[in-house]
């Protein structure tokens, strides 16, 4: 069976500030029940679990977003995870190293979901900006950071191969949602107390581009520093 990671937009379009919402959550959910993304104008961080899309906004508040909420960028897939192992007492760096060793698939896309408890969870959430949008790096500087201790929840991560840096962020890109919805966001760092690790490997990377968006279609990307700016901002 085809295992598809669906992506609306490409990370590259965020770099010069093409932040308009070009797909609704309602349409996005037709491509999967699990995912991550951001709202128009980098309106917070999104995490989609079991068909429900949650936003962690720039004030750190968590809410479920309506079907007409729009996104400039999101990754979704239909969950069909395999239980892999239980990990405990690991830093973020150690966790990602162990995952790379376990999955052994550096050249394709995969998702990792860790349900567990975290001694420390450090996140950020972008703060919504309004048109005319600034660049990704400038907009990302408005982000707010949040830290929780001894929190349980779900870490949802996508691994992208180095070959695809630009379309996606190479390596792991993770969002978090606390089980009680008390915090979440784009993950900057964590210490895992103990968690159940699930993995789903994809063979297909489906990129949907916002071809009805005039600004995207006519933008000259030749002067944008795509790879380096994504590394800086993400």
Q: Give residue for tokens 């720039």.
A: 58
Within 8 A by CB and 6+ apart from 18, the residues are: 72, 133, 213, 215, 216, 219
- Total binding residues toward its own copies, as defined by CB under 8 A: 34
Tokens of 16: 């010069």
Produce one character per residue of 87-97: b if its CB has 16 or more CB atoms within 10 Å, e if not.
Answer: beebebeebbe
Complex with its own copies: residue 115 or 205, whichever CB lies closer: 205
| Window 153-172: contact mask with its own copies (x via CB under 8 A) | --------xxxx-xx-----
Window contacting its own copies (CB under 8 A); options: 37-45, 115-123, 174-182, 221-229: 221-229
Under rule CB under 8 A, residue 81 binds its own copies: no
* Positions in 14-73 near its own copies (CB under 8 A): none
How far apart are CB 49 and its own copies at their closest, in Å?
25
Upstream peptide bond of 150 is cis (omega within 30 degrees of 0): no
Is residue 221 a contact point for its own copies (CB under 8 A)? yes
The CA-atom distances, in angstroms, between 191 and each of 42, 58, 171 are: 27, 23, 18
> Which residue lies nearer to its own copies by CB, 153 or 210?
210
* Nearer Cβ to its own copies (104/149): 104
Please say whether the beta carbons of 71 and 26 come within 8 A: no
Alpha-carbon Rg for the chain in angstroms: 16
Kindly state the smallest distance separating residue 3's Cβ from its own copies, in Å.
8
Judged by CB under 8 A, the chain residues 193 through 212 that form the site for its own copies are: 201, 203-211
Residues that bind its own copies (CB under 8 A): 2, 4, 10, 12, 104-109, 161-164, 166-167, 201, 203-211, 216-222, 226
């Amino acid at each position: 069976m085809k295992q598809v990671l669906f992506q609306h937009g490409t990370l590259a379009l965020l770099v010069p500030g093409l932040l308009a919402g070009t797909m609704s959550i309602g349409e996005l959910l037709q491509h999967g029940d699990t995912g991550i993304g951001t709202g128009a104008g980098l309106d917070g961080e999104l995490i989609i679990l079991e068909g429900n899309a949650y936003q962690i906004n720039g004030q750190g508040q968590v809410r479920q977003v309506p079907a007409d909420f729009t996104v400039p960028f999101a990754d979704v897939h239909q969950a069909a995870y395999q239980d892999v192992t239980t990990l405990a007492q690991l830093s973020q760096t150690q966790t990602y190293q162990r995952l790379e060793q376990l999955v052994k698939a550096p050249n394709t896309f995969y998702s990792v979901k860790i349900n567990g408890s975290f001694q420390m969870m450090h996140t950020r959430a972008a703060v919504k900006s309004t048109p005319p949008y600034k660049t990704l790096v400038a907009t990302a500087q408005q982000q707010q950071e949040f830290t929780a201790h001894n929190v349980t929840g779900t870490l949802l991560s996508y691994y992208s191969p180095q070959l695809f840096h630009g379309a996606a962020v190479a390596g792991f890109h993770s969002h978090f949602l606390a089980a009680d919805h008390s915090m979440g966001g784009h993950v900057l760092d964590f210490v895992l107390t103990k968690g159940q690790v699930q993995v789903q490997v994809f063979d297909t990377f489906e990129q949907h581009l916002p071809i009805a968006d005039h600004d995207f279609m006519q933008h000259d990307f030749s002067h944008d520093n795509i790879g380096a700016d994504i590394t800086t901002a993400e």
